[in-house]
């Protein structure tokens, strides 16, 4: 049993990403969408927080959103994977529930 | 509809500044008629929804905080409030209004609906649901 | 698998209705069912047939209407949220004594019970909001 969490806010604007990471469990997945993709950047004030989780939680960014915002793949934290909308659909199907951190 | 699902309503936003808290409550009230296994989670700024002493005359918006006290009548009796979210905001349980229900399985004894849980327990609760609705 | 979708922010200001649209299209293309999309909070504004975006922009309402037509997706607009925000179908406009309605083809106005029912009847529920 596992959960897909989606985060659509910049971590520099709200506490949604921090709260999501504080509540997700080992084996869960976190998908950053819309402005949430900024949470996947390396070298930021929240990068350590995110990086620490990549061992126990699978972290993804929605590639359409990171590309739209000009985030090059090499600017993303190691261990973060890009997925397209089909991948988003698979993640929803593969986890028992989806929780949106609005 | 014989299947009973576990529904969790996640409240992470403060009241009045935006409509989410009120419209979340409206879903809970309608949803009660469907006789599912309903829990409400209050964390982050959502804990502000339950504070005592809300008085909205000055802003001209309806004060819906008394509605939480009526949830027991709708058999919505599980309001989980996160301790860490209270702590971060300088709140204690005493700052929240009392919400109670009458337990039909225990001679209608009046019991508190608000259950304070820690963050790990909140995470367990979230992971134990069929449907999570976020507001 | 059956997916239920909630959209809780309005068009153009927020990306929610766009992301949800791409998600639903992908889900259907991959062979999943999306029996219903429920519009709540400012999401009800997606249903306005009076929206006239510039021609070089996507037309969010038209996109949804086409999805409803092509794939039978039931687009349900919450009546309580809709009435607050001036979204009325013909029946409601008459009942409320208003001189116009504005719900686009493919959308229908109904109660919050449709949201709960969607949660009960689908395998997954995904919320797009802000």
Residue A32 belongs to domain with CATH number: 3.40.1260.10
pLDDT digit string (tens) for C9-23?
Answer: 999 999 999 999 999
Tell me which H or E stretch contains A94.
Answer: helix A85-94
Mean pLDDT over the full length of chain A: 97
Question: What architecture (CATH level 2) is domain C2-128?
Answer: 3-Layer(aba) Sandwich (3.40)
The partner residue sitting opposite A22, judged by closest CB among B10, B119, B131, is: B119
pLDDT digit string (tens) for B36-95?
Answer: 999 999 999 999 999 999 999 999 999 999 999 999 999 999 999 999 999 999 999 999
The partner residue sitting opposite C111, judged by closest CB among B3, B30, B134, is: B30
Q: How many folded domains does chain A comprise?
A: 1
Residues A8, C129: C-beta atoms closer than 8 Å: yes
Structure tokens at B70: 């009526």
Could you give the CA distance from residue C7 to residue C13 in angstroms, rounded to a whole number? 13
Chain C residue whose CA is closest to A14: C130
Could you give the CA distance from residue C103 to residue C130 in angstroms, rounded to a whole number? 23
Query: Which residues of C are tagged catalytic?
Result: 78
Identify the structural domains of chain B with CATH numbers, from first to last: 6-134 (3.40.1260.10)
To the nearest whole angstrom, how far is the Cα of B39 from the nearest Cα of chain A?
Answer: 15
- CB contacts, 8 Å: A100 with chain B: 132, 134
Query: What ipTM does this complex have?
Result: 0.97
The partner residue sitting opposite B134, judged by closest CB among A2, A25, A100, is: A100
Domain boundaries, chain C: 2-128
Q: Is A102 helix (H, G, I), strand (E, B) or coil?
A: coil
- CB contacts, 8 Å: A19 with chain B: 12, 43-44
- CB contacts, 8 Å: B30 with chain C: 111-113, 115-116
Domain that holds residue A41: 3-101
């Amino acid at each position: 049993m596992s959960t897909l969490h989606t985060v659509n806010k910049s971590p520099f604007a709200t506490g949604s990403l921090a709260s999501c990471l504080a509540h997700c469990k080992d084996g869960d997945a976190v998908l950053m969408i819309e402005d949430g993709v900024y949470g996947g950047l390396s070298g930021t004030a929240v990068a350590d927080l995110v990086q620490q989780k990549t061992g126990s939680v699978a972290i993804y960014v929605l590639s359409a959103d990171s590309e739209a915002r000009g985030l090059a793949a090499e600017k993303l934290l190691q261990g973060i994977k890009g997925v397209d909308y089909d991948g988003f659909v698979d993640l929803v199907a593969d986890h028992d529930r989806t929780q949106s951190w609005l | 509809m014989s299947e009973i699902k576990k529904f969790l309503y996640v409240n992470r936003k403060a009241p009045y500044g935006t409509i989410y808290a009120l419209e979340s409550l409206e879903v809970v009230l309608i949803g009660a008629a469907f006789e599912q296994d309903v829990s409400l989670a209050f964390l982050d700024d959502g804990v502000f929804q339950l504070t005592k002493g809300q008085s909205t005359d000055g802003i001209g918006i309806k004060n819906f905080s008394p509605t939480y006290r009526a949830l027991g009548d709708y058999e919505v009796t599980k309001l989980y409030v996160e301790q860490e979210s209270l702590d971060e905001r300088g709140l204690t349980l005493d700052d929240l209004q009392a919400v109670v229900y009458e337990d039909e399985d225990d001679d209608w004894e009046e019991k508190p609906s608000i259950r304070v849980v820690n963050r790990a327990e909140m995470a367990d609760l979230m992971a134990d649901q069929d449907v999570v609705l976020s507001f | 698998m059956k997916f239920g979708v909630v959209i809780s922010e309005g068009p153009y200001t927020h990306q929610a209705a766009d992301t949800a649209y791409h998600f639903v299209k992908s889900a259907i293309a991959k062979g999943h069912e999306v029996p219903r999309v429920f519009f709540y909070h400012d999401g009800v504004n997606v249903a306005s047939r009076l929206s006239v975006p510039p021609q070089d922009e996507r037309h969010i309402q038209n996109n949804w209407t086409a999805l409803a037509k092509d794939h039978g997706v039931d687009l349900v607009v919450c009546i309580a949220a809709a009435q607050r925000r001036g979204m009325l179908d013909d029946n409601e406009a008459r009942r409320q004594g208003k001189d116009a309605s504005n719900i686009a083809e493919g959308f229908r106005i109904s109660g919050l019970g449709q949201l709960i029912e969607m949660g009960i009847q689908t395998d997954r529920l995904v919320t797009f909001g802000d």
